[in-house]
Amino acid sequence: MNYDYKNKITIDELRNQFDGEVERFSNEQTGQVSSVDAPLILSIFEKSISQMYPDAKRLLDIGCGAGNFSLRITRKLPQLKLTLLDLSCPMLQKAKERLEAENFVVEEIIQADISKAELSENKFDIVVAAASLHHLRTKQDWRNVFGRIYRSLISGGSFWISDLIKHENETIELLQKERYAEYLRDSRDPNYQQHVFENIDRSDTPETLSFLINVLESSGFRQIDIIHKNMVFAAITAVKPS
């Protein structure tokens, strides 16, 4: 599938959209209803990261939204110093407010598009990107961002991605999208399913798992694992070698 990028909304339009959705992104229990298995993936990340990195010092949360992933991980690792990155200033303010209400340390806030954000090198033990990278517009954007994330990690640090994906095979893509449509209709109603699909068409440019794995490998990552996949969503982890 090749995208017609001219038909996608701009970064400014995307920022304005998220500015108005802070409360929807603040629900820890359900995550985003439109993201399949969001609470399960959050739990997998939280348990895996806390066991793999009990002495971690710094975490970068890309597309942090209202802070759900940072909250859950930092409750397990309260010593973490957090860097929050998001397009939306209201999202960042909400995330900071919620984290500081539980006495966690927000070391830095970055309001930026990840495709243009400057990241410190060799700084983070953990980088998390949940339901945010599917807004990258070109394959080169993915390569540039993954390379920048790789350099931002310390040796032995890891990158955790949870996101919308597409499939290589057109038949499988159609079948998985229909499964997703049924999930959305069952979650709420047909109007909600139509709204989500229209939003994906105008806002999102997901890539295949094989492409993501290839870019992770070419960026230098190793120990790449698909830790969950259901319908059109997947979670992946990768490690920067020591």
Matching residue, tokens 């995330």: 95
29 pLDDT band (50/70/90 cuts)? Answer: low
Whole-structure pTM value: 0.94
Q: Are 236 and 227 in contact (CB under 8 A)?
A: yes
Residue 30 has pLDDT above 50, yes or no: no
Per-residue model confidence as pLDDT tens digits over 190-218: 999 999 999 999 999 999 999 999 999 99
- Count CB atoms within 10 A of the CB of residue 176: 19
Domain that holds residue 79: 5-166+205-239
CATH number at residue 55: 3.40.50.150
Alpha carbon distance 120, 85 (integer Å): 13
Q: What is the pLDDT of residues 108-162, one digit of tens each?
A: 999 999 999 999 999 999 999 999 999 999 999 999 999 999 999 999 999 999 9
Q: State the total domains in the chain.
A: 1
Domain membership flag for residue 180: no
Residue whose tokens read 């909304």: 9
In a domain, 49, yes or no: yes
Report the alpha-carbon distance of residue 175 to residue 156 in Å, rounded. Answer: 38
Model pLDDT, residue 15: 87
User: Does residue 138 lie in a domain region?
Assistant: yes
Backbone angles phi, psi at 200, to 5 degrees: -60, -45
Question: Has residue 47 been placed in a domain?
Answer: yes
